[in-house]
Structure 1
Amino acid sequence: MHILGTGSYAPERILTNHDLEAMVATSDTWIRERTGIRERRIAAEGEVTSDMAVAAALKALAMAETDAADLDAIIVATISPDMPMPACAAIVQAKLGAHKAFAFDLSAACAGSLYGMTIADQFIRTGSAKRILVIGAELLSRLVDWTDRNTCILFGDAAGALVLGPSPDPDRGLLSAHLHTDGTMVPSLCIPGGGSRHPQSAEVLEHSLHKIAMNGREVYKFAVRVLPEALNEAFAANGVVAGDIDHIVSHQANLRIVESVLDRVGIPMEKCWLNLDRYGNTSSASLPISLDEANRAGRLKPGDLVAMMAIGAGMAWGSALMRW
């Protein structure tokens, strides 16, 4: 499987750290030093997740010179769909006019696009699909508690998209992917309310159980332990070492996490495309946005070895290695 086209979209409205200073007890310096974030994007009133997904998808389809009508499948990774039912992917399918494509959502939070790409690879390898659109789209500004300074400073709205198909060169494309989950970590990062455990109610709303709840310290400790293991797993599976890697494309939740992980595996930071300062944590959109920006900037050359990593609620995480 190879990436034939990339695309991304971010809303126009920018919310800076200085803006947040007027909303919660925080400061630009505090946020930058602990997260690396300077600003994030916020969706416009009336703008929904599928709108952002379609905007990113159209750019990826144009680069791939693929008509939406020729897509075999659409996979949308999101924890913030337009509505609980049906899948956001079904709405995206209709908006694109991709009448031939089967469409479904997957929920792996910030690791969603990596999971989606891995699933698409299986369809393509078996020959049951030739063109698959994978989208990571999140409208997290409507899922955060804007009175909780520990979480509201982190997240932003955006979407990223990939058009995937068979690799024209057997030596290029996705070499391997390695996915993991640890359900014992659910309390560390979740949205407790709104499901069958705590159905929507006045009490859920009163206690903000329908908003993101996170134990940042536990998430950080877990991420810096398992992500190096996942990268080394990918290296070992393909007989390469850290020095062979040309680029790192990472989900970006926190600059400290990225720095710590790359330091532990021995990859210099200059090999990692960073945009966290401009977008914040965009969850499943983060990895495909980074791929798109690096791709359009000409950073990714044919034959380059690209390592990917992502981690999110679940906890769900993984790595992948691709020959560009």
Structure 2
Amino acid sequence: MPQTREAVIAATGLFTPDQSVSNAELVTAFNAYVDRFNADNAAGIAAGEIEALQPSSVEFVEKASGIKSRFVLDKSGILDPARMTPHLPERSNDEISILAEIAVRAAEDAIARWGKPASQIDAVLCAASNMQRPYPAMAIEVQQALGIGGFAFDMNVACSSATFGIKTAADFIASGSCRAVLIVNPEVCSAHLNFKDRDSHFIFGDVATAVIVEVADEADGGWDILGTRLKTEFSNNIRNNFGFLNRPARPTQALDSAQANGEAADPLTDRLFVQQGRKVFKDVVPMVSDMIVDHAGELGIDPTGLKRMWLHQANINMNQFIGRKVLGREPEPHENVIILDEYANTSSAGSIIAFHLHNDGFESGDTGLICSFGAGYSAGTVFVRKR
């Protein structure tokens, strides 16, 4: 039998949009929408036929999530109380798509850090929570833009897409079918977020990340992948129903018309991101904590001795709880990296942003954990060791 080849995370890349929205800006826009809605529906509210909307506050947002700001591709549309969705005009088929464009930006950063030509990459995986279209695959468009040969395909496991992509790439390396694999995680989360929902309008931001996984005997430095594990359990507690089988006629025009007229609901509201946050917390936190500890034991790693954890950036309370459960104590800030205060929840990209920005201070042999969890439910663990 052929010898299994070890895989290495050789480089990572990051694209961050130029525009950001603070909690204060977001809450001001949301509360203006609330005032407008309640005024337009005053008679129905007085008659008990319509429930009045409640305003939000910066304090509520930060306490509920730990988020202080988020990067977005378009700020003006989000902060317009008459619209409350980003302006992202549809591009022609001859132009690079938005998702591919930001993926390429992150990939170019990773390739530059890798220091090798893109022609040495054998496969491209686009792993993200919401693809811009069903086909042609976003990954193939990215592949073409970067001048990469081999093959490419898309994969979607919501917030766990990046770790599932790393696992897939490592398996390609182990089998001998690839020498190097590029995983891109472009997330335009603002486009599937309901900015009219008090409980979730603050959650997401836009970003793109990239990871290059390479065969160990050709890698210069980087991080040995000690082990990967994936887990899924079906749940409706995080859901996005948008799809071609349930789309309204002319959805963009219908959405713009409804929002411009200040209607109580628009035809896309139930096809955007929805979640039952308390149920998600109750289900996911113990599932992920136990998965990490069990996987570490299987690999002969003491989880309490991990130098750093780069967890999915969903909610600060979830991350803190998982950190305490895994380390058996209150983690130090440098041990349980938090970047959602600046980036918010960026779905599959969150743990990769944390890893990309905060992997300093490691000596050869130090171990860390990249971990994801999200809709599905889905979860992924990737234990790494500094080479």
Given the two structures, how large is their TM-score scaled by the length of structure 2? 0.78
1:200–1:176 CA distance, 2 compared to 1 (3 A): farther
Q: Deviations over 1:44-65 (max 9, x none)?
A: 4458221111111111111111
| Paired residues of 1:262 and 1:269 also in contact (CA < 8 A) | no
2:165 to 105, 116, 121: 116
SS in 2 for 1:56: helix
The alignment partner of 1:209 has SS state of helix
Query: Equivalents in 2 of 1:137, 1:153: separation in Å?
Result: 19
Q: C-alpha separation between the residues in 1 aligned to 2:159 and 2:141?
A: 21
2:356 maps to amino acid: D
Q: 1:200 to 1:182 in 2, by over 3 A?
A: farther
- Asked if 1:34 corresponds to 2:67, the answer is no
Structure 1: how far apart are the matches of 2:342 and 2:13? 17
Following the alignment from structure 2 to structure 1, what is the Cα–Cα distance between the partners of residues 141 and 127?
13
Which residue of the partner structure matches residue 22 of structure 2?
A: 16
Q: Pick closer, same or farther for the CA change 1:299–1:110 going to 2, 3 Å.
A: farther
Match of 1:226 in 2: 287
For residues 15 and 86 of structure 1, what CA distance do their matches in structure 2 show? 32
1:181 aligned onto 2:187: no
Q: What letter is aligned with 2:186?
A: A
Q: What amino acid is the match of 1:214?
A: Q
Change over 3 Å in CA distance of 1:16–1:145 after alignment to 2: same
Residue 147 of structure 2 corresponds to which residue in structure 1? Answer: 97
CA RMSD of aligned residues (A): 2.1
Separation (CA, whole Å) in 1 of partners of 2:176 and 2:231 = 25
Mapped contact 1:138–1:282 kept (Cα < 8 A): yes
Q: What is the one-letter code of the residue matched to 1:91? A: E
Deviation of the 1:319 alpha carbon: 1.5
State the alpha-carbon separation in 1 of the partners of residues 135 and 363 from structure 2. Answer: 40
Name 2:325's counterpart in structure 1.
Answer: 264
Sort the Cα spacing of 1:195 and 1:156 in 2 relative to 1 into closer, same or farther, 3 A: same
Aligned to 2:308: 247
Separation (CA, whole Å) in 2 of partners of 1:108 and 1:91:
20
Equivalent-residue separation in structure 2 for 1:59 and 1:206 (angstroms): 39
1:173-192 deviation digits (Å, cap 9, x = unpaired) = 11111111111x1x211112
In structure 1, what is the Cα distance between the partners aligned to 2:199 and 2:184? 28
Aligned partner of 2:320: which letter? E
* C-alpha distance 175-210 of structure 1, shift in aligned 2 (>3 A): same
User: Tell me, what secondary structure is at the counterpart of 2:153?
Assistant: strand
Alignment of 1:306 onto 2:368: yes
Partners of 2:269 and 2:203 lie apart in 1 by 17
Write out the 4+ residue segments of structure 1 that deviate beyond 3 Å after TM superposition: 44-47, 199-205
User: For the Cα contact (< 8 Å) 2:16–2:207, is it kept in 1?
Assistant: yes
Deviations, residues 71-106 of structure 1 (Å, cap 9, x unaligned): 1001111123232322211111121121x1311111
Count of residues paired in the alignment: 318
Map 1:290-301 onto structure 2 (within 5 A).
290-295=354-359, 298-301=360-363
Contact 1:193–1:200 under 8 Å retained in 2: no
TM-aligned CA deviation for residue 195 of structure 1: 4.2
What SS class does the counterpart of residue 59 from structure 2 fall into?
helix
1:152 to 2:201 alignment? yes
Deviations 1:85-132 (A, max 9, x none): 22211111121121x131111101111100000000000011110010
Query: Are 2:347 and 1:283 equivalent residues in the alignment?
Result: yes
Measured after TM superposition, the shift of residue 207 of structure 1 is: 5.1
Query: Is the CA contact 2:370–2:383 (under 8 Å) kept in the aligned structure 1?
Result: yes
Q: Equivalent of 1:132, from 181, 190, 195?
A: 181
The TM-score normalised by the length of structure 1 is 0.92
My pick for the range that moved more, 44-53 or 232-241, is 44-53
What amino acid maps onto 1:174 in structure 2? I
